[in-house]
Structure 1
Amino acid sequence: MMSIQSTYQLTQSQKMMVFILSMSLYGLSNMFTELIPSVQLGVIELSVEYFAFIPLTLCILFHPFYAAIGASLGEIIFGELMLGQFGGIGEVEKFITFSLGMFIAGILVRNPLNRRQVTFAVFAGLLVHHLLGTIVDIGKVWVGVEEFEAVSGLAESIVIVEGVALLNDLLFSGILFALLPTLYLVPRLYGKIEPLLGMKPRNNKVQYSLGQIVTPKLVVTSVVLAAVAILSEFLSETDWAFGEWEPEFLETFGEWFIWVPIASAAIVTLIVLGVMRSKSKNNSKEFGNLG
């Protein structure tokens, strides 16, 4: 049976470039979501949680694993550590669920020009990410490591609240800030951005079934990672929590400090794009000399 990974190969330096590009771009986007106000409707909060189209597009066009891990790390570095909001072991749950969701979305797309595949992959990735987070939030209340009662005396009301939040994440943020931009960017960038970065586009002519993607190994790995994510989040609400780091930069230096991580992420992005562009030009010259 054909290996799916064999359909798209990158060098180690290219993988690293994809990783850093995803980390800086998504980290930069997370800074701007911090500046967008949320709307509170009772116990339900409508907000722009993230610009998921950035990691989704990178996972579909480039390498799903390195793009997904890079985006998650970018959120932690630029969106939390540099703002003094690192939650310690509790960040493991967010890192795993987001990376897993983006990775699954990336590998589900066999042909980036197929809008149906892209749509299915986007919603599948978002569902994995948000559903795991919803299960964790509900479980923390039911187990008792966190107190929350939307309806006085009725802990089960968390199911309704989290269910509505899940629908908001999928139908509001999911469509506006994930699906629509991804559907627009992927077919327009496919085959055009890769050569500029010194890479070949993914082969969209090779056919393989969904069963070859969702293998028993992937299912088992996903279940194990989900269990680790749930356990880490549960521990973060107990006396076993560790690794929290909250120096309160914003309170110390003022709201202007948010522009420090924004500038840092932007600089890293420009450096990576410059290096990729330089390598692309060098490759073009080499091919020209050979001709």
Structure 2
Amino acid sequence: MTTTVSKGAQAHKLMVFVLSMSLYGLATLVSELIPSVQVGIVEFSVEFFLFIPLTLAMLFDPLSVALGAATGELVFSEIMLGQFGGIGELEKFLTVTIAIYIAGTLVRDPRNLKAVAAAAIGATALQLAMSAGVDILKVVFAVEEFEAVPGLPESVFFTEGFAFLNDLLFSGILFCLLPTLFLVPRLYGKIEPLLGMKPRTAEDAPEVPSAKLVLGAVACFVVAVLAACLSKAGFSLIEWEAEWAESTGAIFTGLGVAAVIAIVAAFCLHRNATLSRA
């Protein structure tokens, strides 16, 4: 009985991983099609649709969702578009995984709007801060030249800090906080039964972030910094870019593939739920 339950739980986690991978991969490809708008020194652009993995992480297994989202971004917005940055891809993979996983563990009750809002904006700020930190350290360690932004003080700390606030206040609020705050309480208790899972409660919620998790996150961030620095210094290992990289055809092909995978994953989860209730 225990073995059967364990296998069922692992199957659900795998399907949640695939669903998160395909949905977030689809979202990152859509963001590639949205142009940015420059107003003076301020650039308004859609950096990410992080609300998708954030919502899933607050309803399902956070680790499966976090790894799925990071994998989806790598596969669909990099490899499917004909480019791969080698070891440097570890930076985004690790920072996205850390942020989403922590957000998912912070929400004990998805009906608690304050907790959902705090986790959503906190995770977004964490991911952006880690990315800014990596960029700053690359300049500090002299593996990348600092490119000053016209109209801003010639300081990497000020430039990265400005970019952090700009992304957090624009993309962070419009495409992370508000959609997550809207979706989580409305999907809670409705989507889980369709996939054969029980809604999250305080009793079976993931363990709250501990000192061990914090140390693990710090260690992963250090690895991300090292990977980014090594990549910028020329030690990228496997790095390639196709002739058709980032072409419109590649983007639409990726959109189609991601949509098909998402539909198949959702169908498999729903079918397993129907069979388990029969």
Q: TM-score, normalising length from structure 2?
A: 0.91
- Runs (4+) of structure 1 moved beyond 3 Å? 41-45, 204-208
Residue 48 of structure 2 aligns to a residue in which SS?
coil
- Is 1:133 the counterpart of 2:131? The answer is yes
Structure 2: stretches of 5+ with no match in the other structure? 1-6
Corresponding residue for residue 5 of structure 1: none
Q: Secondary structure at the match of 1:117?
A: helix
Q: Is the 8 A contact 2:24 2:69 kept in 1?
A: yes
1:234-284 deviation digits (Å, cap 9, x = unpaired): 111102222212113247xx5223111110000001111111121122122
- Equivalent of 2:208, from 210, 213, 219? 213
Deviations 1:163-219 (A, max 9, x none): 1111122111111000100011000000110000111111146799xxx72311111
Instruction: State the alpha-carbon separation in 1 of the partners of residues 66 and 128 from structure 2.
Output: 15
Gaps of 5+ in 1: 1-8, 286-291
- Percent identity for Structure 1 against Structure 2: 50
Checking the alignment, whether the CA contact within 8 Å between 1:89 and 1:236 is kept in structure 2 is: yes
- Pairing 1:230-269 to 2, within 5 Å after superposition: 230-250=225-245, 254-269=247-262
1:278 aligned residue (261, 271, 274): 271
Instruction: Rate the CA distance shift 1:174–1:151 in 2: closer, same or farther, 3 A.
Output: closer
Indicate if the aligned counterparts of 1:104 and 1:124 stay in contact, CA closer than 8 A. Answer: no
Matches within 5 A, 1:53-68: 53-68=51-66
Deviation at 1:78, TM superposition (A): 1.0
With structure 1 as the length reference, what TM-score do the two structures score? Answer: 0.87
| Aligned residue-pair number | 271
- Tell me the CA shift for residue 18 of structure 1: 0.5
Q: Offset of 1:65 from its aligned partner?
A: 0.4
Change (3 A) 1:278 1:147: same
Offset at 1:45? 3.2
Change (3 A) 1:151 1:207: closer
**What is the CA–CA distance in structure 1 between the aligned matches of 2:131 and 2:11, rounded to whole Å?**
33
After TM superposition, the structure 1 = structure 2 runs for residues 38-77 of structure 1, keeping only pairs within 5 Å, are 38-41=36-39, 44-77=42-75
The root-mean-square deviation of aligned C-alpha atoms, in Å, is 2.2
CA distance in 2, matches of 1:67, 1:151: 36
- Which of 1 and 2 has greater Rg? 1
The 3 A distance-change label for structure 1 pair 10 and 112 is farther
- SS of the aligned residue for 2:122 comes to helix
Residue identity matched to 1:36:
I
